[in-house]
Amino acid sequence: TELKNIRNFSIVAHIDHGKSTLADRLIQLTGTVAERDMKQQLLDAMDIERERGITIKANSVRIEYPAKDGQTYILNLIDTPGHVDFAYEVSRSMQAVEGSLLVVDATQGVEAQTLANVYQAIDADHEIVPVLNKIDLPAAEPERVKEQIEDVIGIDASEAVEISAKTGLGIPDVLEAIVHRLPAPTGDAAAPLKAMLVDSWYDPYLGVVVMIRVIDGVVKKGDQIKMMQTGATYKIDKLSVLKPQMVDIAELGPGEIGVFTASIKQVRDTKVGDTITHEKKPCDKPLPGFKPSIPVVFCGLFPVDANDFDDLRDAIEKLQLNDASFSSEMETSAALGFGFRCGFLGLLHLEVIRDRLEREYDLDLITTAPSVVYHIHMKDGTMQELHNPADMPDLTYVDHIEEPRIKATILVPDEYLGDVLKLCQDRRGIQLDLTYAGPRAMVVYDLPLNEVVFDFYDRLKSVTKGYASFDYQFTEYREDNLVKMQILVNDEPVDALSMMVHRDRAEQRGRAMCEKLKELIPRHMFKIPIQAAIGGKVIARETLSALRKDVTAKCYGGDATRKKKLLEKQKAGKKKMRQFGKVEIPQEAFISALKMD
């Protein structure tokens, strides 16, 4: 295909503004999928996705579009992940295309992820076409939202395309805008092969599928290729384009996007952003390198039942086949036994994985407090990364501790602004900016990531009744007065409840933890002290009084079956408990104790 007849683009939007619906419409209108197959096709894809637990990139698609100018264009849409935890992946896939459709819900206006995603498109030098969606709804205010796009984002919205992805209204205008307002790619077919690795995923039948964007040269089936960053070489077994199902193609030239398989075993072997070239006739310079996306939030995952350890290990390995950003390392805890210390891109990523382990693999898990990675600067000038508060080195050797800080952007209706400011202030935030975007306030805060990983989303949602939108970026590591707080139950430290806290917040948090645990731990036959301590010093204390009554006493009088039932019920309840010295702590205590009120 000639370069002038190719357009490569992505769709950027806040969650629920209609990105998937629009992608489906574009596919449908261009007959990429026959009308009657449409519904079935997409449903099938979802079923397979569910069954196999894999991601089908249904929204990355090659569309053939006969435009009004009489020429046929190849339009390549690349899907980008929508959530804040994956912002880094978004920035990488944006490098593979020349333009973006900026979809904004005309009833909602600009939201936090609209901003975060559009800034990435601007950083990638994209041409941007604003698209106002959901204009079929009576609440749509296209004029107001256009103004808002101009005020807040600073791009011209006078020629925004007004559409309803639901009814199909305006979709032809979107296609014409892609052809006439987005630039064609550039490249040299005669030059040595240079292609960018855009994305990759694991397919149980095909192995690893790699998506590429060709910059220069031509790639064919059977070619011997080299990944310049990893140095590995492969032979291309299958070369296809996504329509959205895989359709084989003989070759891909400059500006084109497609996928290949090459007997690659794991997603880990494919580095997004890597340069792919021919082994024999390589290009002279690779594309500018990308930083690998590194886990920023860590927590321990332990099976409730120690016998499930092998199952947990297998399940983690399976999930990692398709998710190179989820890391794990075996961990032993004095209290919880054998488990894994796992790393995630963010809290949502953590929740998604934990949820899948519990539901798809039927595992009962204990999750320890999520922790960020601290930089521990030692007196001898070395620096250690601390992934687990339990590994905190002896303080006499520590010079200072640094924690990761983020820049958080929150958009919220005016009436909830006060509560949001208070929440950020309570979490050691420093206000950087406060402006208005129409009827909504936009606040920008410098916050410690640590304070966000606990329950910030939940709190934000509840104080704003779900009307706030939130996004963040990592900024830097900064020194602060941080300490490790231990929790002792019946004088035994429970390592899984240890956490790093700011010294000024330690008493408050320690007290809250002790009070929570007092409610969560059932009473025993003896008195149980629950304490929070820093170093050897106790900073908070509660006492759980002893249980005196025999639980079976009230059954006294001979009803043996009733008595047996009661004991069985107790035994079943025990499965969800962990033994700490002489004390049993219920599983949910580990999560609930961390939620602050």
Q: Which residues are annotated as a binding site for GTP?
A: 16-21, 133-136
Across the chain, how many H-helices and E-strands are there? 14, 34
If binding is defined by CB under 6 A, does position 226 make contact with ligand GTP?
no
Range in contact with ligand GTP (rule: CB under 6 A) among 129-137, 200-208, 232-240, 396-404: 129-137
Give the Cα separation of 538 and 301 in Å (integer).
Answer: 28
Note whether 136 binds ligand GTP by CB under 6 A.
yes
Q: Least Å distance between CB 23 and ligand GTP?
A: 8
Q: Which of 2, 16, 37, 476 contacts ligand GTP by CB under 6 A?
A: 16
Is 46 a binding residue for ligand GTP by CB under 6 A? The answer is no
Residue 25 or residue 278: which is nearer to ligand GTP going by CB? 25
In the bound state with ligand GTP, the residue whose beta carbon lies nearer, of 17 and 505, is 17
Angle of helix 171-181 relative to helix 19-29, nearest 10 degrees? Answer: 90
Identify the CA nearest to 500 among candidates 589, 395, 581.
395
Q: Which tokens in the block code for residue 397?
A: 């050797």
Considering only residues 147 through 186, tell me which ones interact with ligand GTP, judged by CB under 6 A: 164-166
Question: Would residue 428 be called left, alpha or beta, if left means φ above 0 and alpha means ψ between -120 and 50 degrees?
Answer: left
Whichever of 16 and 125 has its CB closer to ligand GTP, that residue is: 16
CB of 35 to ligand GTP, least distance (A): 18
First to last CA, the chain: 60
Q: What is the DSSP letter of 249?
A: -
CB of 99 to ligand GTP, least distance (A): 18
Q: How far is the CB of 130 from ligand GTP (least distance, A)?
A: 15
Element (H, E) at 442: strand 440-448
List C-alpha distances in Å: 234 to 101, 194, 260, 477. 35, 15, 11, 39
Range in contact with ligand GTP (rule: CB under 6 A) among 132-140, 241-249, 258-266, 278-286: 132-140
Tokens read off for 162? 């007004």
Three-class SS state of 368: coil
- The answer to whether residue 60 forms part of the interface with ligand GTP (CB under 6 A) is no
User: Left (φ > 0), alpha (ψ -120 to 50) or beta: where does 163 sit?
Assistant: beta
User: What is d(CA 572, CA 582) in angstroms, rounded to the nearest whole number?
Assistant: 19
Q: Which stretch binds ligand GTP (CB under 6 A): 15-23, 32-40, 284-292, 314-322?
A: 15-23
544: enclosing H helix or E strand: strand 537-544
In whole angstroms, the minimum distance from the beta carbon of 463 to ligand GTP comes to 23
* Complex with ligand GTP: residue 139 or 553, whichever CB lies closer: 139
Regarding 491 and contact with ligand GTP (CB under 6 A), the answer is no
> Using an 8 Å Cβ cutoff, are 485 and 532 in contact?
yes
Q: Which listed residue (6, 18, 108, 331) binds ligand GTP by CB under 6 A?
A: 18
Task: Please identify, among the stretches 17-25, 182-190, 521-529, 544-552, the one whose residues bind ligand GTP according to the rule CB under 6 A.
Answer: 17-25
Q: How many CB atoms within 10 Å of residue 320?
A: 19
Question: Shortest distance, CB of residue 169 to ligand GTP, whole angstroms?
Answer: 8
Could you tell me which of 478, 419, 481 has the C-alpha nearest to residue 447?
478
484 touching ligand GTP, by CB under 6 A:
no
Q: 137 or 378, CB closer to ligand GTP?
A: 137
List interacting residues with ligand GTP (CB under 6 A). Answer: 13, 15-21, 82, 133-134, 136-137, 164-166
